[in-house]
């Protein structure tokens, strides 16, 4: 880039006030000369480096720079000199041949094959290796290199740490869970175009740059370059620098620019402009059970965004670059100096505050950002920046930072809670803590509804917390929960509005349909998609021509959102559900068949297709074949994920539909033993025992139903059936 650019910028800053009128005139001329934002092009890091040398030097060698690279002498860190790694009877061999890096391991057919390593993935503390297949899939090996210890290790699925994965398992290295194109690529490359072809089940994925380069964060740079190379002394008044403003703009814009790759989320639109509103392009995961603990601490691999949204730092306007260098990704300061940028060192970086004298215990992050290990060796800190709450551990079983270090038998959570009270007094600034509301509502407890109501009326509570609480109202769906949903429809947060639409009952949807129809015109795409999905359940509510036209337009947005992940079965299950509601049974069947073709191991899909075929008078033999296969898949899932109720319960239901009643009864008995508080399991067992005239067992199951949900009206109905059946058979 010509040196006159930097001179022009310096001159503009000095003379900016004097030439303000000239600047406005020039800006108007530029506005007509340059293309709109959507037509900006990627120019590549070398173009950026011509003017931004210091940033380029800082970025070079960073985790973003080395997010993904071609496998060669400079990039491969693992031992490929005839090294072997053995696990559960499978021996994987790493070697070199004719300048290539190769691995001999189990392929999708269960046999050993030689594969060429095409790419490296990451650099610290883990480097993984990727293999490209003829259909365009790029798969990530689970055998990985520990760059700290210098040894091979295995990244196991978190729910199956000691299991030998079969080749047809989705978590096998050749399965969908290890597919780079879908699971990894958009956050490890710049300007990624996935280009999945559903008809042929192939990928034609491309990217502008192989790693996370300048334009991955700043957006395409062609307009910026045109503005910089122009003859004017000034930037454009409409386009500014021609890039999204991440340094001096709002904290939220910067945070939401980082969020796509540092969050658990689902894409709902293909075109994310850096600095744009996050909920127009992504659906972020809320603080759901299985992802987060009830108090919002990290549990599953959720990255950073959902945690940071809970923090006081976020509410005070702290942004990512207050702590992290955006180019090197290093922390701006070492140790507690990072925190004492804002917090008084004399007050907080002192034993009078942290009550520790050892190096580890006196670090702010030890208490306020405890870490959890993912991928076997990768420690990641919780960015909710919370106060340790061992008292919540005592009450709810959530973890706490104190007992992360203090693990001796006498150092119990109750002991830690007593120490905290001794040091800081009885009152906690976060109380009443949202954990109580979320924990109760997740279980559908009666008290949870009142706790959620109180939480939603605390406007100081973070949006993601209130959205999570609103979503949990769906566990109640009664008049009280619907009243709260309706109130939340007017909330300022799009996350809360979306959750309210999803959680409301069908009765509320009908009663206040005009408000949901209004949501079709919400300025935030995420809210519009939630509204159209619910209105599709009851399209007769769209009585006006204008509302129908708006519905059809947003319905197109919904279909486009689903197309972002057209290679996943979940997309086609969503579309099938939509088409069923719209009465398009043929289209629904097509979507279900696509789901089965893409992920044949996914349970639930064949049963849905069987139900549709029954409704359309399908072939009974085909229906039975689908359900028989579904039973096998559910039996597999019951063994792989024994803590999940669905496969246990659904398998019993399918066995009943197939006429295999004794097997169905055994399945329900097992489910009731594993899930003794499941009303549905006890109900299914009781009804099946009634059919089999097993009156005593039916009555025992009925007692358990009453224990779990004493006011349920179905209990009286089953009791009448038992009494009538016993009288008819003279069986006491």
Domain boundary among 172, 195, 218: 195
Q: Domain count for the chain, please give it.
A: 2
* pLDDT tens sequence across 584-621: 999 999 999 999 999 999 998 999 999 999 988 889 99
* pLDDT tens sequence across 633-659: 999 888 877 778 889 899 999 999 999
- With CA atoms as reference, report the closest residue to 536 among 554, 523, 521, 524: 554
* pLDDT tens sequence across 211-246: 999 999 999 999 999 999 987 767 777 778 888 878
531 in a domain, yes or no? no
pLDDT of residue 527: 98
pLDDT surpassing 70 at residue 203: yes
Q: What is the arithmetic mean of pLDDT over 536-555? A: 95
170 in a domain, yes or no? yes
95-104, 239-248, 688-697: segment of lowest average pLDDT: 239-248
- Quickly state the pLDDT bin for 31 (edges 50, 70, 90): very low
- Quickly state the pLDDT bin for 11 (edges 50, 70, 90): very low
pLDDT of residue 24: 32
**Among residues of the chain, what percentage have pLDDT more than 70?**
94
51 in a domain, yes or no? no
Q: Determine which helix (DSSP H) or strand (DSSP E) holds 267, and give its type and residue range.
A: strand 265-267
* pLDDT tens sequence across 476-532: 999 999 999 999 999 999 999 999 999 999 999 999 999 999 999 999 999 999 999
Are β-strands 119-121 and 112-116 bridged in parallel, bridged antiparallel, or unpaired?
unpaired
pLDDT surpassing 50 at residue 1: no
Q: What is the arithmetic mean of pLDDT over 182-203? A: 97
501 in a domain, yes or no? no
pLDDT surpassing 80 at residue 30: no
* pLDDT tens sequence across 392-449: 999 999 999 999 999 999 999 999 999 999 999 999 989 999 999 999 999 989 999 9
- Quickly state the pLDDT bin for 258 (edges 50, 70, 90): very high
Q: What is the arithmetic mean of pLDDT over 693-721? A: 93
Q: Determine which helix (DSSP H) or strand (DSSP E) holds 266, and give its type and residue range.
A: strand 265-267
Residue 423: which domain range? 388-428
Token pair of 190 as six digits: 């710049």
Token pair of 683 as six digits: 């109900």
Q: What is the arithmetic mean of pLDDT over 662-669? A: 96
pLDDT surpassing 70 at residue 380: yes
> Secondary structure of the chain: what % helix, strand, coil (to 5)?
50, 10, 40
pLDDT of residue 731: 60
Q: What is the arithmetic mean of pLDDT over 306-313? A: 98
Domain boundary among 163, 195, 227: 195
154 in a domain, yes or no? yes
pTM of the entire structure?
0.90
- Quickly state the pLDDT bin for 728 (edges 50, 70, 90): confident
666 in a domain, yes or no? no
437 in a domain, yes or no? no
Cis peptide before 125 (omega within 30 of 0): yes
* pLDDT tens sequence across 145-166: 999 999 999 999 998 899 999 9
pLDDT of residue 248: 78
Q: Mean of the per-residue pLDDT values for the chain?
A: 92
pLDDT surpassing 80 at residue 15: no
Contact 60, 327 (CB under 8 A): no
pLDDT surpassing 90 at residue 103: yes
**Among residues of the chain, what percentage have pLDDT more than 90?**
84
451 in a domain, yes or no? no
pLDDT of residue 142: 98
Domain boundary among 169, 195, 221: 195
Q: What is the largest CA-CA distance in the chain?
A: 104
Q: What does 639-664 look like in DSSP terms, one character per residue?
A: HH-TT-HHHHHHHHHHHHHTT-HHHH
Contact 532, 548 (CB under 8 A): no
**Triad 673, 675, 676: Cα angle to 5°:** 70
DSSP assigned state of 260: G
Contact 403, 410 (CB under 8 A): no
- Quickly state the pLDDT bin for 274 (edges 50, 70, 90): low
pLDDT surpassing 70 at residue 29: no
pLDDT of residue 74: 97
pLDDT surpassing 60 at residue 26: no
pLDDT of residue 732: 53
pLDDT surpassing 50 at residue 36: no
């Amino acid at each position: 880039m010509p040196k006159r650019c930097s001179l022009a910028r310096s001159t503009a800053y000095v003379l900016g006030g004097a030439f303000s009128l000239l600047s406005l005139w020039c800006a108007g001329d530029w506005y007509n000369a340059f293309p709109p934002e959507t037509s900006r092009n990627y120019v590549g890091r070398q173009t950026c480096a011509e003017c931004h040398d210091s940033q380029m030097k800082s970025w070079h060698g960073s985790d973003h720079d080395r997010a993904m690279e071609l496998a060669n002498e400079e990039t491969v860190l693992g031992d490929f000199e005839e090294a072997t790694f053995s696990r559960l009877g499978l021996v994987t061999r790493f070697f070199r041949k004719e300048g290539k890096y190769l691995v001999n391991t189990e392929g999708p057919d269960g046999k050993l094959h030689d594969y060429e390593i095409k790419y490296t993935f990451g650099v610290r503390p883990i480097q993984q290796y990727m293999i490209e297949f003829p259909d365009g899939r790029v798969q990530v090996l689970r055998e990985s290199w520990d760059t700290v210890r210098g040894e091979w290790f295995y990244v196991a699925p978190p729910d199956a740490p000691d299991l030998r994965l079969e080749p047809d398992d989705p978590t096998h290295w050749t399965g969908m869970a290890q597919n780079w194109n879908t699971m990894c690529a958009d956050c490890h490359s710049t300007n990624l175009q996935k280009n999945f072809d559903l008809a042929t089940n192939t990928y034609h994925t491309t990217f502008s740059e192989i790693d996370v380069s300048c334009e991955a964060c700043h957006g395409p740079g062609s307009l910026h370059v045109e503005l910089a190379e122009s003859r004017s002394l000034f930037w454009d008044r409409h386009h500014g620098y021609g890039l999204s403003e991440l340094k001096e703009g709002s904290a939220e814009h910067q945070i939401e620019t980082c969020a796509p790759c540092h969050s658990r989320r689902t894409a709902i639109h293909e075109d994310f402009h850096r600095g744009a509103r996050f909920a127009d392009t992504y659906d972020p995961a809320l603080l759901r059970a299985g992802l987060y603990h009830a108090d919002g601490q990290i549990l599953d691999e959720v990255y950073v965004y959902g945690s940071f949204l809970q923090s006081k730092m976020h509410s005070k306007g702290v942004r990512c670059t207050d702590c992290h260098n955006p180019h090197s990704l290093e922390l701006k300061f070492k140790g507690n100096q990072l925190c004492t940028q804002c917090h008084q060192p004399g007050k907080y970086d002192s034993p009078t505050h942290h009550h520790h004298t050892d190096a580890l215990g006196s670090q702010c992050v030890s208490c306020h950002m405890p870490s959890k290990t993912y991928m076997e060796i990768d420690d990641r800190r919780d960015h909710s920046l919370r106060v340790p709450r061992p008292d919540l551990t005592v009450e709810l079983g959530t973890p706490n930072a104190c007992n992360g270090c203090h693990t001796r038998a006498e150092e119990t959570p109750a002991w830690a809670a007593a120490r905290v009270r001794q040091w800081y007094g009885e009152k906690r600034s976060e109380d009443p803590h949202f954990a109580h509301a979320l924990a109760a509502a997740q279980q559908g407890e009666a008290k949870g509804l009142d706790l959620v109501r109180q939480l939603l009326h605390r406007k100081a509570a973070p949006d993601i917390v209130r959205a999570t609480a609103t979503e949990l109202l769906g566990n109640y769906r009664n008049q009280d929960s619907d009243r709260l949903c309706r109130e939340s429809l007017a909330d300022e947060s799009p996350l809360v509005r979306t959750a309210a639409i999803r959680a409301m009952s069908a009765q509320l949807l009908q009663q206040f349909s005009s408000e949901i129809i209004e949501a079709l015109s919400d300025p935030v795409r995420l809210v519009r998609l939630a509204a159209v999905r619910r209105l599709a359940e009851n399209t007769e509510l769209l009585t006006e021509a204008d509302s129908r036209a708006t519905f059809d337009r947003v319905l197109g947005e919904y279909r486009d959102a689903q197309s972002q992940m057209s290679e996943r079965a979940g997309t086609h299950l969503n579309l099938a559900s939509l088409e069923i509601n719209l009465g398009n049974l043929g289209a629904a069947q097509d979507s279900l068949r696509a789901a089965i073709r893409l992920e044949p191991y996914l349970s639930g899909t064949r049963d849905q297709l069987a139900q549709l075929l029954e409704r359309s008078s399908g072939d009974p033999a085909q229906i039975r074949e689908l359900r028989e296969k579904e039973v096998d898949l559910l039996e597999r899932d019951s063994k792989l994920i024994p803590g999940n109720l669905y496969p246990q319960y659904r398998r019993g239901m399918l066995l009943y539909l197939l006429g295999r009643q004794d097997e169905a009864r055994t399945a329900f008995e097992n489910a009731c033993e594993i899930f003794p508080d499941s009303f549905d399991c006890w109900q299914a067992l009781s009804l099946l025992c009634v059919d089999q005239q097993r009156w005593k067992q039916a009555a025992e199951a009925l007692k358990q139903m009453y224990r779990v949900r004493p006011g349920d009206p179905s209990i009286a109905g089953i009791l009448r059936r038992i009494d009538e059946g016993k009288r008819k058979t003279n069986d006491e």
